[in-house]
Chains A and B, each alone.
Chain A
Amino acid sequence: MTTASTLTPISKPFIAEPSDLILVTGAGGFIGAAVVEALLDLGFTNLRCFVRATASASKLRRRLSQHSRGVNVEIMQGNLLSPADCARASAGVSVVYHLAAGRGEKSYPDAFLNSVVTTRNLLEALVSTGFLRRFVNVSSFSVYSNRGSRDTTLDESCPMESHPELRGEAYTFAKVNQDKLVLEYANTYGVPYVLVRPGHVYGPGNLPMSGRVGIDTFGRFLHFGGPNPIPLTYLNNCADAIVLAGLHPLADNEVFNVVDDDIPTSRQFLRQYKHSVRPFKSIYVPHAIAYLFCWCWELFSDWSDRELPPVFNRRRWHAFWKKTRYSNLRLKTRLGWTQRVSTAEGLRRYFDACRAENLNA
Chain B
Amino acid sequence: MLKVAIIGCGKIADAHAEQIGRLPGCRIVGVCDREPLMARQLYERFPVEACFSDVRELLENGRPDVVHITSSPESHYGLAVICLEAGCHVYIEKPFTLCELDARRLIELAASRGLQLTAGHDDQFSHVARRMRHLVQQGYLGGTPVHMESFYCYEMSQSTYATALLSDPSHWVRSLPGKLLHNIISHGIARIAEFLTTDNPSVIVHGHISPRLRSIGEEDIIDELRVIISECDQTTAYFTFSSQMRPALHQFRIYGPSNGLILDQDQETLIRLPGKKAKSYLETFVTPLSLAKQYSANVATNVRTFLKRDFQMKSGMKCLIERFYASIAENGDPPISYREIVLTARIMDAIFAQLTALKVDSVKTGDPDASPESPRANLCIAGD
Contacts and interface: CB of A to CB of B under 8 A. Distances in A.
A117 B312 contact: no
B138 interface: no
B41 A303 contact: no
A53 B38 contact: no
Interface in A148-193: 165, 173, 177
Contact of A116 (B22, B37, B306, B312): B37
B169 interface: yes
B161 to A, nearest CB: 7
B312 A307 contact: yes
A289 to B, nearest CB: 24
Nearest to A103: B160
Contacts of A107: 11, 14, 160
A109 B41 contact: yes
Given A55-B217, A116-B37, A304-B309, A109 B167 contact: no
Interface in A176-228: 177
Given A79-B170, A306-B312, A177 B41 contact: yes
A109 B11 contact: yes
B167 A54 contact: yes
B311 interface: yes
Contacts of A114: 164
Given A120-B37, A304-B309, A307-B306, A55 B14 contact: no
B311 A112 contact: no
B364 interface: no
Contacts of B41: 108-109, 112, 116, 173, 177
B30 to A, nearest CB: 17
A307 B44 contact: no
A20 interface: no
Nearest to B41: A112
A54 B169 contact: yes
Interface in B30-59: 35, 37-38, 41-42, 44-45
Interface string B194-224: 0000000000000000000000110000000
B160 A56 contact: no
B383 interface: no
Contacts of A303: 309
Q: Is the interface of B mostly helix, strand, loop or mixed?
A: helix
B18 interface: yes
B10 interface: yes
A28 to B, nearest CB: 9
Contacts of B217: 54-55
B168 interface: yes
B13 interface: yes
Interface string B334-362: 00000000000000000000000000000
A109 B35 contact: no
Contact of B160 (A79, A110, A305): A110
B10 A53 contact: no
B270 to A, nearest CB: 20
Interface in A276-292: none
A120 B38 CA distance: 12
Given A108-B41, A117-B38, A305 B22 contact: yes
A165 B45 contact: yes
Given A165-B45, A304-B309, A108 B167 contact: no
B168 A79 contact: yes
B227 interface: no
A89 to B, nearest CB: 15
A109 B351 CA distance: 31
Nearest to A104: B160
A55 B216 contact: yes
A106 interface: yes
A113 interface: yes
A106 B162 CA distance: 13
Centre residue among A54, A109, A165, A303 by max chain B CB count within 10 A: A109
A104 B164 CA distance: 12
A52 interface: yes
B45 A108 contact: yes
A207 to B, nearest CB: 15
List 9 tightest A-B contacts by C-beta distance, closest first: A53-B167, A107-B11, A165-B45, A304-B309, A109-B10, A109-B11, A112-B41, A105-B160, A307-B311
Given A116-B41, A304-B306, A305-B309, 5 more contacts: A108-B14, A114-B164, A120-B37, A307-B309, A309-B313
17 contacts: A52-B167, A53-B167, A104-B160, A107-B160, A108-B14, A109-B14, A109-B38, A110-B11, A110-B160, A114-B164, A173-B41, A304-B306, A304-B309, A305-B312, A306-B18, A306-B312, A307-B311
Interface of B: 9-11, 13-14, 18, 22, 35, 37-38, 41-42, 44-45, 160-161, 164, 166-170, 216-217, 306, 309, 311-313
Interface of A: 52-56, 79, 82, 102, 104-110, 112-114, 116-117, 120, 165, 173, 177, 303-307, 309
